[in-house]
Structure 1
Amino acid sequence: MGSVRDHGGEPAYAWRDLLQRWSDEWLDPVLHEQERAEPFPDEVRRTRWLGSGGATGEEVDALEDRLSAKLPTSYRQFLLTTNGWLNTTHDIDRILPVREVGWARDLAPELVAAWTDGYGDVGFRVDDEEYFVYGEAQDAVSSRPEYLPYTLKISHTPEATDVYLLNPCVVTPDGEWEAWHLAHWLPGAVRYQSFWELMNGQYRSFRGEW
């Protein structure tokens, strides 16, 4: 599940295809919906879509203005496809709509403190050789908590620390921000080179493919 280039040379990510398959599988009463504490809302069941309508370009532009940052293409296209999303896996309750997105230091200061307090005192930093490893060879311990205050919080799970974050401190040549899945049950963050790759990884996890 990759991306293609549009006529302007910008990657075009197949969000609708991925998210529709994800919706259909969540809503299958035999496969997954029975695993939820509560059924999905009637409107979700009727439309067979765990998201909403897409955000407008003006709404996404306003978010970028509020953040003083240009969003990575894969995440921007996601928001234009659906302005928020319900469960990805059992660990993430929802992906936030544009009006609720913000920097982790502002939205989740306790989370930032829990992972960073005392970190600078030990004088240790993961080197590039360990850090820039993605895929199965990656060790979640090899994270850099010093980036956490600068990350963008894009998901929410009540009474849990499971969260998706976008990290503007690490950017690919295509302008994609590194994407994190951070959780209390992990020794660090599971990191991907883009939001698109994170979501594909989470979809595989949801399906039990690893």
Structure 2
Amino acid sequence: MEWRPWLRRWSDEWVRSAGPEADPEVARTRWLGFAPAAEQAVAAAEARIGVRLPPAYREFLLTTDGWRDAGMFVWRMRDTSDIGWLRDLEPYWDDGWAELCEDEREGTCLSRGLLISREADAGILFLDPGSVDDSGEWAAYSLFSWRAEPPERFASFTALMEDLYAEFHRMRKPEGGTRDSWDAKVEQARLDALAGDADGADAVLAEAEDFGLERATVLRAQLQVFVGRPSGHSLGRLLHSDFVPAGFLADPLFTEEFLPLLFAQHAECSLPGRNSQLQMAMNGNDPDLHLLVGAYQARIRNGERPMTYGNPEFDGLIRDAVDEHGAEPDALWRDIDAAFAHWRPRTRDHIAPVALLADPAVTAALTPERRRNLLSRPRGDRR
């Protein structure tokens, strides 16, 4: 990590997103950090705690002795004058949270931790000298009591800072080069997915989601659902009131692909005390969703078949296949296999035939291997 240019970009984006709320000094200098620590100050801190600091954190301090607004919930990080052992500075964290630490080494990450945060929203950042990689980097952790979860582990201090930076982007959505870069990566991931590289696209989209790009969530949900990993990327996230982009519920990608699937999953959800994704979404107060679901239910009650499998040519081929081989999964798969060359996206962001999964007969024919087979094929405008 070249700390200065990266931290300078972070500072500039933060100032622009904060507007009048920005600290006057930060707004004037456009720098969330402070003056660099002298080598002597770092050495003195190491002598005081009795251990040499890991390389990345050491270089960070030599770039800025402290930091403001690390993510959205850490308002000030410690500097060379007051970093210290967590057990000495804030021992109650180890007392209250140690049982959640999965650690087979002597002590826990909390009892060994070096506290590097000073002011935060009921949370801490710390480094663990008991977990060191081949390059000498210590594992890093964040822990916030209101999350009611074990400490979150990162491979290094750099990885922790990158996560905090992504959190800032996810919540503030600052305009600028970083955002533009991720927009371009998401578009390339869309093209890669249509070209058959589902795994590569998924990896990029997962990172883009961390930065709060809603389009990445819409695209990735299709890949995750189609390969059978709804628990890894819940459909409910698409319907959360804090997420739904303007116009998404009226988009054919939702009305013709995701909504039929939500109804199909609801019909299969028979466990007592467990709500379907559709039920959980309907517990919200989105009037557009309520109207949409009500209209869909009315069409079903009127004897209509409101779902289609895709674009007209593909839909016709799949309907014929289901009518002829609906009870024969292998025969139905052969027809789906042959028909897939005629599949086309309904919209620009449509990258997977999610609507197929709304039909139990088709779902039975689509084994995990067959689903991956379909996603590995170039399709749409990438054929």
Matched, 1:177 2:138: yes
In the TM superposition, 1:91-130 aligns within 5 A as 91-116=73-98, 119=99, 125=102
CA contact (8 A) 1:115 1:145 kept: no
Paired with 1:175 and 1:51, the residues of 2 have a C-alpha distance of 25
Aligned with 2:74: secondary structure?
coil
Matched, 1:18 2:18: no
Q: TM-score, with normalisation over the residues of structure 1?
A: 0.75
Aligned with 1:180: secondary structure?
strand
Q: 1:196 aligns with which of 143, 158, 168?
A: 158
List alignment gaps of at least 5 residues for structure 1.
1-12, 129-143
In the TM superposition, 1:49-198 aligns within 5 A as 49-116=31-98, 119=99, 125=102, 146-157=108-119, 160-184=121-145, 185-198=147-160
Paired with 1:202 and 1:96, the residues of 2 have a C-alpha distance of 16
When residues 174 and 188 of structure 1 are mapped into structure 2, their CA distance, relative to the original with a 3 A threshold, is same
Letter in 2 for 1:175: G
CA contact (8 A) 2:112 2:129 kept: yes
CA contact (8 A) 2:77 2:117 kept: yes
- Listed one character per residue, the Cα deviations across residues 15-66 of structure 1 (whole Å, up to 9, x for unaligned) are 11111111111101xx3x15xxx83332211110011110000000001101
Other-structure match for 1:10: none
Paired with 1:97 and 1:127, the residues of 2 have a C-alpha distance of 30
Paired with 1:107 and 1:156, the residues of 2 have a C-alpha distance of 10
Letter in 2 for 1:188: P
Query: Aligned-pair distance for 1:127?
Result: 6.7
CA RMSD of superposed structures (Å): 2.3
The structure carrying a bigger helix percent of its residues is 2
- Listed one character per residue, the Cα deviations across residues 107-163 of structure 1 (whole Å, up to 9, x for unaligned) are 1012221112xx39xxx95579xxxxxxxxxxxxxxx982211100000225x4311
Paired with 1:14 and 1:125, the residues of 2 have a C-alpha distance of 32
Letter in 1 for 2:71: T
Matched, 1:42 2:4: no
Letter in 1 for 2:84: G
Paired with 1:66 and 1:48, the residues of 2 have a C-alpha distance of 32
CA contact (8 A) 2:103 2:109 kept: no
Q: Point out which structure has higher relative CO (alpha carbons under 8 A, 6+ apart).
A: 1
Paired with 2:23 and 2:85, the residues of 1 have a C-alpha distance of 29
Paired with 1:39 and 1:145, the residues of 2 have a C-alpha distance of 42
Letter in 2 for 1:45: A
Letter in 2 for 1:103: W
The structure carrying a bigger strand percent of its residues is 1
List alignment gaps of at least 5 residues for structure 2.
171-208, 211-383
